[in-house]
Amino acid sequence: MFGEEELVKSHKRRADLIFNIIWFLFAVILARLWYLQIYKGAAYYQYSLQNRLRKEVVIAPRGMIFSRNNELLVHNTPRFDAVITPQYLTNKRETILKFAKIVEMDSREINSILKKKGSGQARYIPITIKKNISRKEVAIIETENSKMPGISVQTFISREYKDDFVGAHFLGRVTKVFKDEVKDDVSLQNKYIGRAGIEKEFDNEIRGEDGYEFVEVDALGRRKRYVSTDNLFQGIDNKAAIPGNNIRLTIDRDLQLAAYNALEGKVGSAVMVDVNTGEILAMVSRPSYNPSVFNRQLTSDYWNSLVEDENNPLIDRTIQEHYPPGSTFKTFTAIAGLEEGIVDENTEIICPGYIKVGRRKVHCWKEHGHGKVDIIKAIRESCDVFFYKIALKIDIDVLAHYARLFGFNNKTGISLPLENKGLIPTKDWKMKRNGQEWQLGETVSCAIGQSYMLVTPLQLTMAYATIANGGNLYKVHNVKEIFSNDGNIISKSEPSITTKNVVSQKTLEIVKRGLYQVANDRKGTAWWYRGKGIQMAGKTGTSQVIRFTSDKIFSKCEENEYKYRHHGVFAAYAPAENPKVAIGVVVEHGCHGSSAAAPVAAHVIETYLDKYYPNERKKYLEDDKVMMTKFWAAQNAAKKAADAAAAEDQEDE
């Protein structure tokens, strides 16, 4: 009995121990469940969502860009890109081979892209393999998605430029940020930013604010559906992207097209401005490039073709390149001479075709000279000797002072990046640069726009606009307003004058008479290239590329090797009686401002008058017709008189 009782107690103790252990383990499990489900429930819920959901960035559409007449110049269109997410890429070799066939790429190229773009980047970040794939390729990838884990299609917003090459430098281009830029600013990850022109200058205003949305994915990262807050997914809030602000430019699209087409086959630029506001109406540089390509699928071949082109199509020649202004600067030498009392409208000199400066003979462009010359004739026929003689009596610093009154040697302040300020030399400048004293012969060269003189086409245009409007130098502006998508004006530009009445009205009136005769007198240098019915006033110029030796001074420019030919320059305003616009044109290696650059200016002015002042244009055409009728009548009368005189001489013999 005693043994049985002890046995029962022993079993009971064991049973109690087992029971206590079970209850303890059950309590531990309950505690763990409480810890996981209640205490840490929210956190683990988020972890589970992260495994099941993927947060995708919704790139904000960039703001649109309009012309002054509300024509859409730059807009956004959806495009499809093929991407690989390394985190989900399994059976890499087989998957890439299959993917390569679909997108018609070499598998080695795909691997190279993965290695290059994936280096130093998190594996969950998608890598774009091919941009702008076709809808057929999209359909195949989506259909075969289950067999190609890690391969997917992403929708992006592509930047499209309505006129492609036209005005590319002015509007700019957009590309994806580089890795080193992301290091400096993590918020730029996977974003597209402006790289040139308006796109770069106003990038912060145009870019907008990205959003995000949650996507339910399977274990291989394949998209199943877009989700938001519901009974299953609580607290999941997508954020809509906020589009960037829009920009309305001062540019007129028709004038842009006219300038671009007029420069066909040439290397150069053209700028047109409103003389009474300082607004840019047209701004074109050639050769150009297609900015849309930078968003679609920029290939190394296309990029190399741009950077290796000796004509530098990526450079905006209107503001980033500068040239000796040539004879277009004589206008400002004349202004300096008049203001300083060195010459007046009655001053006359004899031009024998040269002058002597020390022991050196400095030639006029016309070998046998212009004969008796006053200031009007000097401007009309571009007599070098007249301006040489002004240079002999004026200090270079005084000449520089007047040049700067018209905006030279200073940036115009246009809202575009990388503007060049040009150069108007002074004595101090040369001493600091070369450690040498200024020489009189250098003033002589500067007086006709050569030597150290350098100006941008925009500066030249604004200087002539200042003459045209009566002496007010306006601040340049190329953006009329920035406005949001709901139409609210965020900022607006108003005309503003930088300097009023830069010189006397009397001086300007004298110079204007000369500029009018350049294009409207049969002896003017632009007479044969003045256009029809535009009443243009302006100045031709030749910008020297190299200085020719004495035996080549009077040789034909066209006979020289292309790269050594002079640039053709022309600056003008119209209509002369009531100026509305000014224009500056440079044609590199065009030899002559008259034949190379003036026709470009005339065509753009004709387009402007046809569009905005058709009645005045009609009147000017009639006036031009009458003038030409008189001209040919005079020519015929002169020919008859010459023929009659020749006949009399024969009879006398």
Mean pLDDT of 354-369: 92
CA 63/CA 278 separation, integer angstroms: 25
- pLDDT over 60 (residue 22): yes
Find out whether 247 and 482 touch, Cβ atoms under 8 Å: yes
Tell me, yes or no, whether 105 and 142 share the same domain: yes
**pLDDT at position 15:** 82
Q: Which two tokens stand for residue 365?
A: 């462009």
Q: Which two tokens stand for residue 185?
A: 């600013």
Tell me, yes or no, whether 515 and 404 share the same domain: yes
- pLDDT over 80 (residue 251): yes
Which structural domain range is residue 97 located in? 55-249
26 located within any domain: yes
Residue type, 608: Y
**What's the mean per-residue pLDDT of the chain?**
90
The residue among 428 and 359 whose pLDDT is bigger is 428
Q: Encode pLDDT of 469-508 as tens digits.
A: 999 999 999 999 999 999 999 999 999 999 999 999 999 9
Mean pLDDT of 290-311: 90
CA 491/CA 484 separation, integer angstroms: 10
Q: If pLDDT is split at 50, 70 and 90, which confidence band does 511 have?
A: very high
302 located within any domain: no
* Alpha helices (runs of H) in 226-285, residue ranges in sequence order: 253-262
SS (H, E, C) 177-240: CCHHHHHHCHHHCCCEEECCHHHHHCHHHHHCECEEEEEEECCCCCEEEEECCCCCCCCCCCEC
477 located within any domain: yes
**pLDDT at position 75:** 95
The residue among 187 and 607 whose pLDDT is bigger is 607
Percent of the chain past pLDDT 90, that is, above it, reads 65
Tell me, yes or no, whether 366 and 420 share the same domain: yes
Q: Encode pLDDT of 542-556 as tens digits.
A: 999 887 666 667 788
CA 230/CA 222 separation, integer angstroms: 21
Q: In a 10 Å sphere around its CB, with 0-12 CB exposed, 13-18 middle and 19+ buried, how is residue 594 labelled?
A: buried
CA 455/CA 271 separation, integer angstroms: 13
Length of the chain: 653
Find out whether 525 and 518 touch, Cβ atoms under 8 Å: yes
412 located within any domain: yes
219 located within any domain: yes
310 located within any domain: no
Number of Cβ within a 10 Å radius of residue 125: 14
With CA atoms as reference, report the closest residue to 272 among 468, 427, 443: 468
Q: Encode pLDDT of 433-469 as tens digits.
A: 999 999 999 999 999 999 999 999 999 999 999 999 9
Q: Encode pLDDT of 165-201 as tens digits.
A: 999 999 999 998 877 776 666 667 767 899 999 999 9
Percent of the chain past pLDDT 70, that is, above it, reads 91
Rg (CA), the chain: 37
Tell me, yes or no, whether 399 and 425 share the same domain: yes
Tell me, yes or no, whether 372 and 432 share the same domain: yes
Mean pLDDT of 579-605: 97
Tell me, yes or no, whether 272 and 421 share the same domain: yes
Mean pLDDT of 377-398: 98
Find out whether 260 and 167 touch, Cβ atoms under 8 Å: yes
User: Could you tell me the end-to-end alpha-carbon distance of the chain, in angstroms, rounded to an integer?
Assistant: 178
Q: Encode pLDDT of 203-232 as tens digits.
A: 999 998 888 887 776 665 555 565 665 545
Residue type, 193: I
- CATH assignment at residue 389: 3.40.710.10
Mean pLDDT of 240-258: 96
Q: Encode pLDDT of 111-144 as tens digits.
A: 998 988 887 777 878 888 998 898 899 999 988 8
- pLDDT over 80 (residue 4): no
Per DSSP, the three-state class of 132 is: coil
The residue among 151 and 579 whose pLDDT is bigger is 579
- pLDDT over 70 (residue 50): no
Whether the link from the prior residue into 599 is cis, omega within 30° of 0, is: no
Q: Encode pLDDT of 615-643 as tens digits.
A: 999 999 999 999 888 888 988 888 888 77
- pLDDT over 80 (residue 612): yes
298 located within any domain: no
Tell me, yes or no, whether 601 and 636 share the same domain: no
Q: Which residues pair with 103 in a beta bridge?
A: none
CA 258/CA 274 separation, integer angstroms: 16
Tell me, yes or no, whether 244 and 347 share the same domain: no
With CA atoms as reference, report the closest residue to 315 among 290, 294, 285: 285
Q: Packing angle between helix 384-391 and helix 440-447, nearest 10 degrees?
A: 140
CA 580/CA 606 separation, integer angstroms: 12
Tell me, yes or no, whether 222 and 277 share the same domain: no
Query: How far from 33 is each of 25, 30, 46, 333, 483, CA to CA, in Å?
Result: 12, 5, 17, 93, 56
Mean pLDDT of 301-319: 95
CA 233/CA 602 separation, integer angstroms: 67
Mean pLDDT of 28-55: 72
Q: Which residues pair with 360 in a beta bridge?
A: 357
- CATH assignment at residue 202: 3.90.1310.10
Number of Cβ within a 10 Å radius of residue 503: 19
Query: How many structural domains does the chain have?
Result: 4
Tell me, yes or no, whether 567 and 640 share the same domain: no
* Alpha helices (runs of H) in 348-478, residue ranges in sequence order: 375-381, 384-391, 396-405, 427-434, 440-447, 457-468
Characterize 83-102 residue by residue with b for buried, 16 or more Cβ atoms within 10 angstroms of its Cβ, and e for exposed.
Answer: bbbbebbeeeeebbeebbeb
Task: Give the count of alpha carbons within 13 A of 214, CB side only.
Answer: 17
Find out whether 120 and 156 touch, Cβ atoms under 8 Å: no
pTM: 0.87
CA 628/CA 636 separation, integer angstroms: 12
Q: Packing angle between helix 598-612 and helix 614-652, nearest 10 degrees?
A: 140
Tell me, yes or no, whether 240 and 319 share the same domain: no
Q: If pLDDT is split at 50, 70 and 90, which confidence band does 404 have?
A: very high
Tell me, yes or no, whether 421 and 564 share the same domain: yes
Query: How far from 9 is each of 14, 18, 24, 90, 129, CA to CA, in Å?
Result: 9, 14, 22, 63, 77
296 located within any domain: no
Query: How far from 335 is each of 387, 389, 418, 578, CA to CA, in Å?
Result: 11, 14, 30, 21
